[in-house]
Amino acid sequence: MEKKSLIYVAGHTGLVGSALVRVLRQKGYERILSRTREELDLTVQKDVEVFFQREKPDYVFICAGKTGGISANTNYPGEFIYRNAAIAVNLIFFSHLYNVKKLIYLGCSCMYPKFTPQPVKEEYLLAGAIEPTNRPYAVAKILGVELCLSYNRQYKTHFIPVIAGNIYGPGFSCHGEDAHVIPALIRKMNDAGKKKADKVSVWGSGKPERDFIYVDDIADAAVFLMENRTGCEIINVGTGRGVSIARLASDIKSITGFKGEIIYDKSKPDGIPSRVLDVTKLTKLGWKHSVGIERGLKLTWEWFKEKHGGC
C-alpha cells in the first residue's frame, strides 16, 4: 500500500476495525474510508454497489460481521449465518468488480474442524466436522474464505483470507450474549467483586485451550500482510500458544481483585476442546505477536476500568 491509497475498513467501530484504524493512522495512512451500519448496511447488495461505485477504494479490510459467544451463537443461528454470509458475498464480489488491488478477509479459528491435530495448520480447514455450537457462524466465514480463494484462482485477484485466534482487548463488547470469554469473565468478576459475591460461575469444565491474540497485534498483522504478502492463500494469525479457560479465569480473578471462588458449570458446553494455531507461515514472513496474555489482560482490564467501571 502507498500512503496516499484509499483504504476501506469495513467494521471500523468494532473491536478489530477500530484497532485497524488506529494502526493505519500510526503508520501514516490517512485516507481511510469508513461507514457505520446506519450509513451503509453491508447486507444490502445495491447499497454496497453504490458505495463501491462512488468511492472506488484501493484496498479493503473486511472486519465487519455478527459475532458473539457460545450463548449468542446457540440462540441466533439464523442471524449469524445470514449477516456474515451476506457481508462476505457483497464486499468480496464488489471488491472484484471495482478492481480493488488487495483485500484482507478476517476469519476465526472456530472455522476449523472440532477435532483436529494441534497446532492447527491452514490446510486443516474443511478436513472434518465443525463444532455444532458455532457452526452457522463458521460456515458463513468459510464461505468468505472460499470466495477469496475462488476469485484468486479465476480472476487473479489478491484477496487474502486470514484466520485469527481468539481476539481480545480494548473495545470489546461486555454485554450479555454478545460477549466472548475474556470480556464476559472480566464483567462477571468485576460485578461480583462490587457485590461482594462469594463465587462466579464459568461455563464448561475450564479445560479447553484457546490461542488468545491481543487486538492491536491482529491489526498490526493485517496491515503487515497487506503491505508485504504476495501469496493469496489462507494464513493463520495467532500466538501459537494455548491458554486454558481455567488459567484464563484464574488470571482475570487476580487482575480484577475478585476474592471469591470460581465454579465451573459442567452442564454448559465447552465448545471446541482445543484450538491453537500453527503460525509458521506468518513467522517465516517476518511477523510475530508482541503482546503476551499477561500484559494483554492487564491492558484490557485497565481500559475496562477507565471506560466502564462496570457494564
For the chain, the residue count is: 311
**What is the SS3 assignment for 10?**
strand
Asked whether the beta carbons of 148 and 105 are under 8 A apart, the reply is yes
Which residues touch 153 (CB under 8 Å, ≥6 apart)? none
Q: What are the φ and ψ backbone dihedral angles of 50, each rounded to 5 degrees? A: -60, -40
CB atoms closer than 10 angstroms to residue 13: 15
Rounded distance, CA 114 to CA 127, Å? Answer: 10
* Start-end of H helices in the chain: 15-26, 45-55, 70-75, 77-97, 135-155, 181-194, 215-228, 245-256, 280-285, 293-307
Q: Which residues are the active-site residues?
A: 137
Closest CA to 159 of 55, 220, 88, 215: 88
Distances (CA, A) of 46 to 52, 90, 91, 216, 295: 10, 9, 11, 33, 44
The burial class, CB within 10 Å (0-12 / 13-18 / 19+), for 33 is: middle
Q: Comparing C-alpha atoms, which of 162, 267, 203 is closest to residue 72?
A: 203
Residues 110, 275 contacting (CB under 8 angstroms): yes
- Picking from 149, 142, 69, 77, the residue whose alpha carbon sits closest to that of residue 112 is 142
